[in-house]
């Protein structure tokens, strides 16, 4: 696991003055990565790092020849339209680049005059998916979400016998992952109204969001090899926000016997920013399974993982609608949760994914699954908040919601906070539901 170093010093300030404002979420202690270009241009997308309200153009920084050693090698890997090359280099190169960036962007840095022209205001850019994502696996690691959903279908036995022993996951569709998506309501088959009847076909009526984090794989492993629990995080480049949209009525009809398919593969919305695990080091916390719970099997357990395997990342779901945007109403908060409530953690997901010899590759994405908390108000999906569509949600501007309607926009946010330390923000994932294309 990454230890604290000079890049985490809470007293560090940047010559980019907006980075010293706590409202930004992108202080010099963060330095998250994205892929961007100037909005409306025909420029190639390229890697960048956030500092305050600016983006530092990394290929341009490579041209400036400011860095040397492993930091310079890492910059050379950023001469691409995605972050995969940097991801493939590994932790020592990521750390070297972070350290060099921190020093170059700190107040009083000698390189300020050379770097300042390479900054682009975030208000003037657009983003692309930060990596070429070859494979996408979605997990199901919130005990609270699994229990709440299970109770709707199996009130007396909401959790299946394997849940507390194995991180449950399925392989999803990578091609429909994107940032700032607007997508048509999915079409498909739905369960017949009567047993043995003909299925309905048409636009989904029970469209839902899922509050998740995405785990980006950095260095991979050879097929047939395993990644051990104490080595797992060295294979993780960082975390971003993920909304795994779900068509619940399609899902109810198709999920047996093989699991999610059309209910999940039409869209999954990412935040553009990846916050590195190194930036999250100050927010580690104990991974507490609880004495009355089954303890992880040996390959999923270690002293280090128990001591600080969880991450304190606060999460929030917000909504806007066609009506609210017409009156410039502020987004309404639907729920808040935290990643520390998850039943499995980052290292365990990487280790379990490879225990059978599966080979991960740079840029692969692992979704956490819906990150609901222990309280009803911390539900990470509208299916939970409305108790399966039985209890409508009242929105501040007078509308109600049971499931999502056309024109609804879901915004997911994440941040880390602790006393005496700058706020570490993840940006946001924003996606809008359009009318079905019938």
Say what the pTM is.
Answer: 0.97
d(CA 38, CA 60): 14
Q: Give me the pLDDT at residue 247, please.
A: 97
Q: Mean pLDDT over residues 3-28, rounded?
A: 96
pLDDT tens digits for range 23-55: 899 999 999 999 999 999 999 999 999 999 999
Q: Are 20 and 87 contained in the same domain?
A: yes
Counting every residue written for the chain, the total comes to 438
Integer-rounded Cα radius of gyration of the chain: 22
Q: Are 122 and 184 contained in the same domain?
A: no
Q: Are 275 and 207 contained in the same domain?
A: yes
Total domains in the fold of the chain:
2
The enclosing domain of 238 has a CATH number of 3.90.850.10
pLDDT tens digits for range 69-91: 999 999 999 999 999 999 999 99
Asked if residue 156 has pLDDT above 90, the reply is: no
Q: Which residues are catalytic?
A: 145
Domain end, chosen from 98, 128, 158, is at: 128
* Residue owning tokens 């806007």: 320
* Cis-peptide, bond into residue 257, ω within 30° of zero: yes
Q: Mean pLDDT over residues 94-110, rounded?
A: 98
Is 217 within a domain?
yes
The enclosing domain of 48 has a CATH number of 2.30.30.230
Q: Which of 370, 423, 426, 319 is nearest to 211 (CA)?
A: 370
Q: Give me the pLDDT at residue 438, please.
A: 83
Q: Are 268 and 367 contained in the same domain?
A: yes
> Do the beta carbons of residue 171 and residue 398 sit within 8 Å?
no
Is 1 within a domain?
no
Q: Are 396 and 276 contained in the same domain?
A: yes
Q: Are 213 and 105 contained in the same domain?
A: no
Q: Which domain holds residue 90?
A: 6-128
Determine how many CB atoms are found less than 10 A away from the CB of residue 230.
Answer: 14
Q: Are 110 and 166 contained in the same domain?
A: no
* Residue owning tokens 């409306």: 40
Q: Give me the pLDDT at residue 1, please.
A: 66
> Do the beta carbons of residue 425 and residue 271 sit within 8 Å?
no
Element holding 275 (H helix, E strand): strand 275-276
pLDDT tens digits for range 228-268: 999 999 999 999 999 999 999 999 999 989 999 999 999 99
Domain end, chosen from 110, 128, 146, is at: 128
Q: Are 112 and 231 contained in the same domain?
A: no
Average confidence score pLDDT of the chain: 97
């Amino acid at each position: 696991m990454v230890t604290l170093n000079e890049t985490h010093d809470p007293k560090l300030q940047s010559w980019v003055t907006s980075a010293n404002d706590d409202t930004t979420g992108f202080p010099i202690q963060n330095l998250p990565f994205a892929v961007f270009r100037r909005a409306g241009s025909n420029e190639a997308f390229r890697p960048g790092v956030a500092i305050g309200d600016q983006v530092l153009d990394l290929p341009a920084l490579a041209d400036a020849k400011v860095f040397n050693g492993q930091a310079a090698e890492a910059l050379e890997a950023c001469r691409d339209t995605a972050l995969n090359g940097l991801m493939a280099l590994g932790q020592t190169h990521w750390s070297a680049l972070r350290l060099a960036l921190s020093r170059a962007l700190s107040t009083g840095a000698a390189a300020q005059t050379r770097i300042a022209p390479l900054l682009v205001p975030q208000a003037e850019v657009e983003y692309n998916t930060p990596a070429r994502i070859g494979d996408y696996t979605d997990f199901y690691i919130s005990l609270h979400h699994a229990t709440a959903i299970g109770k709707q279908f199996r009130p007396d036995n909401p959790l299946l016998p394997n849940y507390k022993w194995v991180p449950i996951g399925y392989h999803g569709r990578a091609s429909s992952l994107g940032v700032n998506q607007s997508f048509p309501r999915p079409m498909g088959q739905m369960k017949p109204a009567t047993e043995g009847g003909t299925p309905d076909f048409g636009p989904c009526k029970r469209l839902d969001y899922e509050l998740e984090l995405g785990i980006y794989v950095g260095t991979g492993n050879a097929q047939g090899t395993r990644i051990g629990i104490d080595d797992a995080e060295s294979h993780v480049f960082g975390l971003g926000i993920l909304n795994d949209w779900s068509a619940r009525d399609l899902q109810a009809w198709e999920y047996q016997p093989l699991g999610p398919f059309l209910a999940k593969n039409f869209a999954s919305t990412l935040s553009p920013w990846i916050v590195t695990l190194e930036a999250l080091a100050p927010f580690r916390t104990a991974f507490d399974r609880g004495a009355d719970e089954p303890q992880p099997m040996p390959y999923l357990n270690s002293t280090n993982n128990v001591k600080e395997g969880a991450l304190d990342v606060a999460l929030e779901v917000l909504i806007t609608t066609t009506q609210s945007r017409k009156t410039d109403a502020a987004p309404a908060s639907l729920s808040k949760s935290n990643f520390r409530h998850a039943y499995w953690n980052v290292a365990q997901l990487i280790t379990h994914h490879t225990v059978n010899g599966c080979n991960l590759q740079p840029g692969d994405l692992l979704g956490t699954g819906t990150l609901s908390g222990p309280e009803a108000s911390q539900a990470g999906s509208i299916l939970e908040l409305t108790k399966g569509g039985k209890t409508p949600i009242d929105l501040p501007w007078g509308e109600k919601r049971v499931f999502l309607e056309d024109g609804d926009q879901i915004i997911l946010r994440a941040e880390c906070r602790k006393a005496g330390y700058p706020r570490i923000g993840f940006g946001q994932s924003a996606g809008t539901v359009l009318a079905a294309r019938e």
